[in-house]
Structure 1
Amino acid sequence: MSTGFFDGIDKVVYEGPDSTNPLAFRHYNPDEIVMGKRMEDHLRFAVAWWHSFAWEGGDPFGGPTFVRPWHPQDGMDRARLKADVAFEMFDLLGAPFFCWHDADIRPEQGSFADNLATLNEITDYIGGKMATSETRLLWGTANMFSHRRWMGGAATNPDPDVFAFAAATVKGCMDATHKLGGANYVLWGGREGYETLLNTDMGRELDHMGRFLSMVVDYKHKIGFQGTILVEPKPQEPSKHQYDFDAATCIGFLRKYGLEGEVRLNLEQGHAILAGHSFEHEIAVAAAEGMLGSIDMNRNDYQSGWDTDQFPNNTPEVALAYCHILKSGGFTTGGTNFDAKLRRQSLDAQDLVAAHVGGMDICARGLKAAAAMIEDGGLDAALAERYAGWDTPEAQAMLNSDLGAISDRVLAKSINPEPRSGRQEMLENYVNRFV
């Protein structure tokens, strides 16, 4: 039986680039073959339960603006209604995946035992919904940042009882993710950092976070979870400084604690911007180290200094991101999760569907542009030309030499190089041919 929330909205279909229907795909054709693979299998779209269904439209200066039939989210009847609405939208969009935090899908009960009971109850219900749907679980995670108990962190909290509560919470969420056949499990350290060093033992907190993550990996193997463990970098907000600042910081952390072979990264466009990077930079860093796992696709408002979580609408940015993803071999267990929310003035069910339609279309356009650039080979040719000198036997031998021998060679050959153009503008113009 329909909930009625999406009454009057038909299933979204591909109508092609000439369509003017705001609730039709113009570029996302799931069955279109791109570089030998279906577009749906490249992109692996996921809907974020928290922003699409749990968020009520509030901001730091005003209360909720969305009035949904499942608000307030304070009981299991409303949690089940929220799940019913979610799967109706998954079916409308043809979304292959969804993602959740525990606090998105079950009401907060206060005690761990009651939270676990309602989590198990609602994930049983979601499992029943999945049995009649084609939508699967991309990943689950634990919300360890909203409740006041997490104000000093979770794994990094100075109170060992909070660490224990966090460990138990993650175990429950991993069990639920495993039960639902999740492809990944994510740890997002929403408050794993500090407000001031005056009351922070950074070395101890980092060691505790490393030990916590090692326990997660051990538990994954204990229960036979075949998915990937992911961590998500975020530089600041809400903490002044967070230990998972960016991709490079997380990679260094994983290597310090011997986890580089067990854990990969879930990268978000908005977090990359907060760290002072581009999204393509973060993806390229993770890909170069073999640690790219999945992405949260959204965008920030470039006039704002915080994480606005808007739906993507910039084709060149998206194309460059997917260019690096495709070059790294594409997603395996990961995918493209829309960690994006409506603007608080966008009140209607139609707005929620249209936002995802637009985001999926932008990603499809970006993917096709990225594939076209790779197949054309212009960027690869430019890179090969720029670094061609390093392909000579003499240059390679220099890397195995020492400073004294290199200095002798420079003197003997009177080496005095002149700089060569990096041709940035020409390459930017090249990219614009495809987007």
Structure 2
Amino acid sequence: MKDFFAGVDPIKFEGPETSNPLAFRYYDKNQKVLGKTMEEHLRPSICYWHTFCWDGFDVFGGGTFNRPWHQLSGQEMADAKLDIAFEFFTKMDFPYFCFHDVDVMAPAATMKEHVENFAVIVDKIEEKMGETGKKLLWGTANVFSNPRYMAGASTNPDPEVFACAATQVRHAMDATNRLGGENYVFWGGREGYDTLLNTKVDREMDQLARLLTLAVEHKHKIGFKGTLLIEPKPHEPTKHQYDRDTATVYGFLKKHGLENEIAVNIETNHATLAGNAMDHEVAMAYALGIFGSIDANRGDPQNGWDTDQFWNDQAEITRTMIHMLRNGGFTTGGMNFDSKVRRQSIDAADLFHGHIGGIDALARGLLSAAKIIEDGKMDEFLNERYAGWDKDLGQWIMNTASLEDISERTVKDNLDPKPKSGRQEYMENIITYAV
């Protein structure tokens, strides 16, 4: 199994002029950009599930990849997958990886087996991390795939299902802490409803808040220093999910007093499904003080579902990176490639092509955003546009005036503001010329 990637050498930076498809053109992990290396800015991570678990199946047909480890079962399959995963992490030279509990372990028929099988593989992951120096960006529990979760995990009408989900979360959090994970993620894949006809929304949201509160308490009990993250998504597989976008998540956290305990892991494709742009989601997360991490992927505008393709929209990446650079970028988060090769991309090398193109696209976006920040014209216009709020009237309105005071001063001073151009096309041109 260890020779699956034998035909691919470790991926190196060779620059934009290289003709080698298995080399980085723009991602030079040691290149300094605005005071930090590219690796420090991007903190790239490879996901376990799409890269090593998915066999290429879709709703219309079975798997197409026929990877050697897909032909195995039980602990033998888990061990083989572990070997191949760390070989890939090492050859890609990314510092981080991410996993769900069921991604890495031997399948389990009962919760007792789940706990036992997961413990076995965590020991082995710890050994691999020690050997390779790879780090865990975040861990999580898959509480959506098993049939018991068809009506939700924490939001399930049956408290026994809640208990199973809580058990998985507890052990996944413990493992993440033990492995030095920098975050722990909650993706509410079925924390929503298919129809309101059989759903008590108020009760389900209270149950979700209860699980999150228990997780926060457990985090502090075990001394986990990482960040807890919720990954917003509007729908699919359910019709409506309670964590539909960043603003919705913040409102939920605020209601339950969790806004200082939990941040967001924003996915590009999920933003699209919510009808939002990725830069909107990132800007909103920073504005609300809950920015955490990013799942770097994209959807297809001609498909209405989560296609998880590698993110390569240079304008969108650049716009997103501008907000990140303005706000200091990641702290504990990173760019996790929650992306998968296409069903017809069946060769081992295709996994490298996808991740190479993905990280090069992010590196180009980072360089473009840095160029815009250094040039200063965009920030100059923004500062000019809002300059009035830093002066006497703006500060008086924001800090001391009453509604009556504002009204009387407006009439007394005969205020007559003239419309000013928002210069959208000028701002869009800055992006166009930078990318």
Question: Could you say whether these structures have the same fold, taking a TM-score greater than 0.5 normalized by the shorter chain as the test?
Answer: yes
Q: Secondary structure at 1:309's aligned position in 2?
A: coil
* Separation in 2, partners of 1:91, 1:32: 20
Write out the 4+ residue segments of structure 1 that deviate beyond 6 Å after TM superposition: none
- Give the equivalent residue in structure 2 for 1:26: 25
- Give the equivalent residue in structure 2 for 1:207: 206
- Give the equivalent residue in structure 1 for 2:424: 424
Cα pair 1:73 1:107 within 8 Å, conserved: no
Q: Which moved more, 1:308-317 or 1:320-329?
A: 320-329
* Distance apart, 1:73 and its partner CA: 5.8
- Give the equivalent residue in structure 1 for 2:95: 96
Opposite residue 423 of structure 2, the aligned amino acid is: R
Alignment of 1:150-299 (within 5 A): 150-299=149-298
* Distance apart, 1:108 and its partner CA: 2.4
* Separation in 2, partners of 1:164, 1:10: 46
- Give the equivalent residue in structure 2 for 1:147: 146
Opposite residue 404 of structure 2, the aligned amino acid is: G
* Distance apart, 1:293 and its partner CA: 0.6
Q: Percent identity?
A: 53
* Distance apart, 1:21 and its partner CA: 0.8
Deviations 1:232-282 (A, max 9, x none): 100000110100000000011111111111111100000000000000000
- Give the equivalent residue in structure 1 for 2:345: 346
- Give the equivalent residue in structure 2 for 1:377: 376
Opposite residue 26 of structure 2, the aligned amino acid is: H
* Distance apart, 1:408 and its partner CA: 2.1
- Give the equivalent residue in structure 2 for 1:407: 407
Cα pair 1:138 1:182 within 8 Å, conserved: yes
* Distance apart, 1:417 and its partner CA: 2.5
Unpaired segments of 5 or more residues in structure 2? none
Q: Which moved more, 1:10-19 or 1:365-374?
A: 365-374
- Give the equivalent residue in structure 1 for 2:14: 15
Deviations 1:266-318 (A, max 9, x none): 00000000000000000000011111010000011011111110001111111
Q: Secondary structure at 1:70's aligned position in 2?
A: helix
**Normalising to structure 2: TM-score of the pair?**
0.98
* Distance apart, 1:331 and its partner CA: 0.8
* Distance apart, 1:376 and its partner CA: 1.5
Q: Which moved more, 1:47-56 or 1:131-140?
A: 131-140
Opposite residue 220 of structure 2, the aligned amino acid is: H
Opposite residue 356 of structure 1, the aligned amino acid is: H
Q: Which moved more, 1:391-400 or 1:249-258?
A: 391-400
* Separation in 2, partners of 1:110, 1:322: 44
* Distance apart, 1:366 and its partner CA: 0.7
- Give the equivalent residue in structure 1 for 2:48: 49
* Separation in 2, partners of 1:4, 1:37: 35
* Distance apart, 1:162 and its partner CA: 0.3
* Separation in 2, partners of 1:95, 1:407: 58
CA RMSD in angstroms, aligned pairs only: 1.1
* Separation in 1, partners of 2:168, 2:394: 54
Deviations 1:319-351 (A, max 9, x none): 111211121111111100000001000000000
Q: Which moved more, 1:243-252 or 1:98-107?
A: 98-107
* Separation in 2, partners of 1:280, 1:122: 37
Q: Secondary structure at 2:69's aligned position in 1?
A: coil
Q: Secondary structure at 2:138's aligned position in 1?
A: strand
**Normalising to structure 1: TM-score of the pair?**
0.98
1:394 aligns with 2:396: no
1:355 aligns with 2:354: yes
* Separation in 2, partners of 1:376, 1:8: 43
* Separation in 2, partners of 1:125, 1:153: 31
Unpaired segments of 5 or more residues in structure 1? none
* Separation in 1, partners of 2:396, 2:275: 37
Deviations 1:142-171 (A, max 9, x none): 111111110110011110000000001101
Cα pair 1:45 1:336 within 8 Å, conserved: yes
- Give the equivalent residue in structure 2 for 1:66: 65
Q: Secondary structure at 1:214's aligned position in 2?
A: helix
* Separation in 1, partners of 2:226, 2:72: 30
* Separation in 1, partners of 2:328, 2:391: 28
* Distance apart, 1:395 and its partner CA: 2.4
* Separation in 2, partners of 1:82, 1:260: 37
Q: Secondary structure at 2:46's aligned position in 1?
A: strand
* Separation in 1, partners of 2:341, 2:272: 19
Q: Secondary structure at 1:132's aligned position in 2?
A: helix
* Distance apart, 1:44 and its partner CA: 0.5
| Structure 1 residues 91 and 69: CA distance shift in structure 2, 3 A | same
* Separation in 2, partners of 1:395, 1:284: 23
Opposite residue 285 of structure 2, the aligned amino acid is: A
* Separation in 1, partners of 2:64, 2:207: 39
Opposite residue 174 of structure 2, the aligned amino acid is: D
Q: Secondary structure at 1:433's aligned position in 2?
A: helix
* Separation in 2, partners of 1:407, 1:256: 33
* Separation in 1, partners of 2:9, 2:115: 37
Cα pair 1:210 1:257 within 8 Å, conserved: yes
* Separation in 2, partners of 1:219, 1:169: 13
Deviations 1:174-214 (A, max 9, x none): 11111211111101100000111111111111111111101
Q: Secondary structure at 1:225's aligned position in 2?
A: coil
Q: Which moved more, 1:308-317 or 1:392-401?
A: 392-401
| Structure 1 residues 356 and 219: CA distance shift in structure 2, 3 A | same
Q: Secondary structure at 1:137's aligned position in 2?
A: strand
Opposite residue 158 of structure 1, the aligned amino acid is: P
Opposite residue 300 of structure 2, the aligned amino acid is: D
* Separation in 2, partners of 1:317, 1:171: 37
Q: Secondary structure at 2:85's aligned position in 1?
A: helix
Deviations 1:334-381 (A, max 9, x none): 100000001000000000011101001001111111112112212211
1:132 aligns with 2:125: no
1:332 aligns with 2:292: no
Q: Secondary structure at 2:139's aligned position in 1?
A: strand
